[in-house]
Each structure stands twice: as C-alpha cells, then as structure tokens.
Amino acid sequence: MQLLPGFRDFFPDDCARRNYILEMWRAVARRYGFVEYDGPVLEPMALYEKKSGGEIVGQLFDFTDKGARHVAMRPEMTPTLARMVAARERDFKKPLKWFCVPQFFRYEKQQRGRLREFYQLNCDIIGEASSAADAEMIAVLIDMLRGVGLGEKDFVVRLSSRTAWQEFFAQAGGKSEDEYEFFQIVDKAERNPPEKTDAALAKFSLTAQQVLDFMRSKTATAELAPILADLTARGLGGFVEIDYAIVRGLAYYTGVVFEVFDRSKNERALAGGGRYDKLLSLMSDGKVDLPALGFGMGDVVLANLIDDTPAAKAQLDAWLARERAADVYVVIAKEERRAEALGVVQQLREAGHRTDFPLTAAKVGKQFRTAEQLGARLTVLIGDEWPQVKVKTLATREEVLVDAGEVLAFLQRKS
C-alpha cells in the first residue's frame, strides 16, 4: 500500500529530527512565558469558511461524518484558539500567552516546503493591544530560529502592516468592504505580471505601479516604528526589515503582519503571522472583544533550512548523537545468571537509567556490538564474577569490578 502524496512516515530517525524541532519550540516558548494548550483535530467546516478565508478554504480535507455534519481536519489553529478563548475568556488573566504544536492538514500541491500534513508551532498573545506585544511576538519567533542555530545571515523577518495598506486604499477612494479583495491583489502583485495586477486594480482606479511603489518604500509607519525600537533594544533589530509586500493571505488579519524567509530565498515562508484584533469579537457575536496576535511556524521549511545551513546542521547532528536508545546495556555472559541480570536491569530502570539487555541468549561479543549500536555509554557484565559485575566504559574500554549491590551508586558517580 502506498503512502498518500504529501504525507510522511516517521521512522525512528525521522521522528528524532522532528522531535528536535518540537522540543526546541516548546523550550523557547516556555522561556518566554507561554503555556501550552491544544484543541480538536476535527472542526465544523463552517469554522474555516467563516473565519480563515482565502486559499486555505479550498485546501481543506473536509467530509461529511456519520452524523451528517460537514467537518474538516484542522488546517490551522487560529479559528480554534479564538473559539476556545471566546468561550472561557473570564477564566484567564490577560494577556494570555499561549502556544501549541499541532499537526495540520492542507490539500496543497506537494512541493519543496509544502506538504499535505505538517506540524506548526503557534504562539499567540490575547488581550494586549500595545506594540510591546507585537515586539514580544517577533522576539520569540526570532529566538525559535536562533535556538536551532540559525542567525542573522540565515533568515529575515519581513514586517508590514495591513493598516498601512488600508490607509493607502482609503486615500485612493477604496471602500472598507473591498479591502480584503485589494489585499489579495497586493499579496500577489510581486509574483504576477504588472498587466494582470493592472487589470485587477482597474475597478479601484489604481495601477500596479502605484502599488509596487508603495510596496518598495521602506519607511516604518508610526505603528511599526515602536516595534522596531523595542526589538533593537533587545539586540534583535538586525533580524527585521520593513517590507510592505507582506499582506498575508488569511482573512482575519487586521494590523501588523509579518513573514519570515531564509536570506538566500531558496525556501517558501518559514513562518507568518500578525494581529487579528477583530476575530474574537466575530467569533462571539460581539460578546468578547479582545485584541490578539500570533504566528505559525511549520516544521517542513525549517527542517530544509537546518539541513542547508552548516552551523544549524552541526547542532542538529550533535543533538542526534546524544539521542541514544540506551545509556546502559546489561551483558548477560552466563545464561544461568539471567534472573540476577533481570534484577539489575529493573533496578537501573527504576533509577531512571535508559537500560537495555538481550531478550534471548546471545554470544558476549554480539551483545557488546549491540550495546555500541544502541549508543550505550556503559555496559554492566553479569557472569562468573557474580555477586560482582564488570562495569565497562565503552569509549575508554576501562573496566571496573563492582559489587552488584553497589552498581547504582557507582553509575550515579559516573554520570
């Protein structure tokens, strides 16, 4: 049976690589005071039709369940988060700083950096309107990438604002109900030929040139300047550039928006996010009105960039080398001593040592080879010397005879 296109098997090596990224995400999020939450994998289709908008709705894995409900597998977290917070907003002190690491599903064309199943870190702050929250959000995003060994020369946060584009559009006589359509034209203006953009903009009496000129102006608006100042104060200013080409595809964004790209421009976006100050109000029919912002970062592009960046790759490899299946291997040199060996194995495991041993009789040489293959640091040989055992440090080949009852204390001193 073949794997579905865009889906992945995670063999142990792949799982270890995935866990490296997920563990880093969790560690950095916690370092910034974010707490973890999660939601359901399946949601009503209407949640995304109404709240996400844009391309994502056409990419849903949706179906009718046995109860005749039209449901979709989650393609993103933001609508779920907004629903959850709107339901129990009073139970939490603001601002909320929440993160999650869910698996998502999007029926996209499979290509480098884009699959149909992926993991995405989400960090969101709810209930804080000041630009300090935008800066905090971008800082945690930058540190997520620094955490895996990427630096200023490897990636850039492109910072922009839908407010700036709203003002541009209003000055040109555009109406607010047409804004989202206008944003979608702007979103594609760099990729599409100018004639196509001109044709799309004609009904707003705007031209591709006007849009592209504004896009290329690098001056920070009054909304963006304090964010840059905050990040500069943290020593992170070099990671951010103003770039009005970023407007984001999803419908709910309201103000500041940003995306992260690798500097060499070989990859798709690593992350994207921004403010969605109206979404909670929309979700609760006006009952809960809280400003909100956040970002999502996928594992697929990040893994590609790590593999292509020597310093980041070296850090990953060092981490993988420490990821061993067993730390201690109990060698049973005399089968008659298996019962005693099991006692030692159990004792070691209860004390928290990653311990393995041969399930069936095997030659001693083979057992040592297995120990090395598993990445064990130490072997504990149980044989003729019982009730003494031989503890060997595999790297140095140094061997010490220890009383069986003293093995734990001896290992504790060793680690």
Under the binding rule (CB under 6 A), the answer on residue 102 touching ligand HAM is: no
187 phi, psi to nearest 5 deg:
-55, -35
d(CA 415, CA 406): 15
Under the binding rule (CB under 6 A), the answer on residue 95 touching ligand HAM is: no
Radius of gyration of the chain (CA): 27
Q: State in angstroms the smallest separation of the CB of 110 from ligand HAM.
A: 8
For residues 160 to 189, the per-residue mask of contacts with ligand HAM, x marking binding by CB under 6 A and - elsewhere, is: ------------------------------
Alpha helices in 32-119 (DSSP H): 45-51, 55-58, 78-88
Q: Which H helix or E strand runs over 305?
A: helix 299-308
Contacts of residue 73, Cβ cutoff 8 Å, sequence gap at least 6:
41, 42, 60, 61, 62, 104, 105
Could you say which of 29, 279, 300, 411 contacts ligand HAM (CB under 6 A)?
Answer: 300
Letter string b/e over residues 176-188, b meaning 16 or more CB atoms within 10 A of that residue's CB: eeeebebbbbbbe
Asked if 227 contacts 138 with a C-beta cutoff of 8 angstroms, the reply is yes
Under the binding rule (CB under 6 A), the answer on residue 301 touching ligand HAM is: yes
Could you say which of 186, 297, 312, 407 contacts ligand HAM (CB under 6 A)?
Answer: 297
Under the binding rule (CB under 6 A), the answer on residue 97 touching ligand HAM is: no
The residues facing 62 across adjacent strands are: 72
For residues 376 to 395, the per-residue mask of contacts with ligand HAM, x marking binding by CB under 6 A and - elsewhere, is: --------------------
d(CA 62, CA 316): 36
Q: Would you say 124 or 136 has its CB closer to ligand HAM?
A: 124
Under the binding rule (CB under 6 A), the answer on residue 271 touching ligand HAM is: yes
From residue 203, alpha-carbon distances to 43, 162, 164, 198, 206 in Å are 37, 20, 20, 9, 8
Could you say which of 49, 108, 308, 340 contacts ligand HAM (CB under 6 A)?
Answer: 108
Q: Would you say 38 or 399 has its CB closer to ligand HAM?
A: 38
Could you say which of 95, 149, 298, 358 contacts ligand HAM (CB under 6 A)?
Answer: 298
Q: State in angstroms the smallest separation of the CB of 78 from ligand HAM.
A: 4
Report which residue's Cβ sits closest to ligand HAM: 298
For residues 54 to 93, the per-residue mask of contacts with ligand HAM, x marking binding by CB under 6 A and - elsewhere, is: ----------------------xxx---------------
Structure token pair of residue 204: 């707003």
Could you say which of 127, 149, 255, 272 contacts ligand HAM (CB under 6 A)?
Answer: 272
Cis peptide before 226 (omega within 30 of 0): no
Q: Which stretch binds ligand HAM (CB under 6 A): 155-163, 289-297, 319-327, 386-394?
A: 289-297
248 Rama sector, left if φ>0, alpha if ψ -120 to 50, beta otherwise? left
Q: Would you give the distance in Å from CA 210 to the centre of its chain?
A: 36
Asked if 278 contacts 254 with a C-beta cutoff of 8 angstroms, the reply is yes
Under the binding rule (CB under 6 A), the answer on residue 106 touching ligand HAM is: yes
* Residues of span 111-140 touching ligand HAM by CB under 6 A: 114-115, 118, 120, 122, 124
Could you say which of 102, 255, 296, 358 contacts ligand HAM (CB under 6 A)?
Answer: 296
Q: State in angstroms the smallest separation of the CB of 89 from ligand HAM.
A: 17
Positions in the binding site for ligand HAM (CB under 6 A): 76-78, 106, 108, 114-115, 118, 120, 122, 124, 269-273, 294-298, 300-301
